[in-house]
Amino acid sequence: MLEYNVHQGVGKEYVVFLHGIGGNSRIFGKQLDIFKKSYNVITIHLPGHGKSPNIESYNEEFTIDLNIREVLKVLDHLKVDRAHFIGISLGSVLIHALLQAAPDRVKSAVLGGCITRFNLLSNTLLKMGDTVKNMIPFMWLYKIFAYIMMPKSNHKASRKLFIREAKKMNRNDFLGWYRLTPYVKSTYTSVQERASHIPKLYISGKEDHLFVKSLDQDTNGDPSATKVFIEDCGHVCNVEKPREFNRLALDFIYKNQGVPLRKVQ
């Protein structure tokens, strides 16, 4: 089972936090204490992160679907039927996959730095990385992508945090996640069809230059989606602009407490 922590807070509502590649619950350091004042908080370390099983420990192909099943195992173990979800970067990608696979488990979703697909530049970079990934230390590759995704001086804190925490991963785990990048687009394919009734809040920095334009275009048809693009902010918006992120996320979840379970067609 994945490593998790339950931060017992107030009330009956649960909020689940999902981190990005190379991250861990530390990236939510500016959220946890505040959210615990109003909610029960669950942080989960994805495979290959923290003390969760490494990717090679699974006796099956490492896929996005496997990750969703692992997250749901934690909720089942804790007897949490439905929860609010907050994700950053890859965490938001997995929330999209969850909305497609098990929308009945999601009360609402806050998707920070979300990725719906890769543009020409990011696709080119990923293909170049795929070519050299077995020739160079994986942290070189991670650092290159971190600087390309978060190039500005105001992105420095989040960039350093991600690089520091990624050093705790091993090479095989990082490359296992890297091999999932071509499947990111598939996680959003039927979200609007399967989960159009579930409230979603997309929070991105206006400077999240690789992903924000595609995100804006792809989510236009979702009647339950609200989008906020924060000024002077890059990819890891909860780290760069924690006050704005917390205010938006808390207000959104508060409004969607006790959302009734609707039948999913």
Question: What's the whole-model pTM score?
Answer: 0.95
Give percent of the chain above pLDDT 70.
Answer: 97
For residue 184, pLDDT beyond 90: yes
pLDDT class of 193 with cuts at 50, 70, 90: very high
For residue 264, pLDDT beyond 70: no
Strand partners, 226: 201
The distance of Cα 198 from the centroid of its chain, to the nearest Å, equals 17
Q: What pLDDT is attached to residue 260?
A: 60
Residue 190 burial (CB count, 10 A): 13
Q: Does domain 4-255 have CATH number 3.40.50.1820?
A: yes
Q: What pLDDT is attached to residue 265?
A: 33
Q: Considering Cα of 18, then 232, then 245, then 85, what sign does the dihedral take?
A: negative
Residue for token pair 């990934």: 133
Domain range list for the chain: 4-255
- In whole angstroms, what is the distance from residue 73 CA to residue 4 CA? 11
- Buried-exposed string 234-246: b where 16+ CB fall within 10 A, e elsewhere: bbbbbbbbeebbe
Residue for token pair 């923290």: 50
pLDDT class of 133 with cuts at 50, 70, 90: confident
Burial class (CB in 10 A: 0-12, 13-18, 19+), 164: exposed
Q: pLDDT tens digits, residue range 17-28?
A: 999 998 888 899
> Residue 253: which of 190, 192, 204, 203 has the closest Cα?
203
Q: How far is CA 68 from CA 14, 17, 135, 190, 225, in A?
A: 18, 13, 31, 16, 22
Amino acid at 127: K
- In whole angstroms, what is the distance from residue 184 CA to residue 239 CA? 23
For residue 88, pLDDT beyond 90: yes
Average model confidence (pLDDT) across the chain: 94
Lowest average pLDDT, out of 54-58, 85-89, 163-167, 174-178, goes to: 163-167
CB 123 within 8 Å of CB 215: no
Give percent of the chain above pLDDT 90.
Answer: 88
Start-to-end C-alpha separation, the chain: 31
pLDDT class of 162 with cuts at 50, 70, 90: confident
**Which residues, in sequence order, are CB contacts of 128 under 8 Å at separation 6+?**
none
Compute the average pLDDT of residues 62-90: 98
pLDDT class of 259 with cuts at 50, 70, 90: low
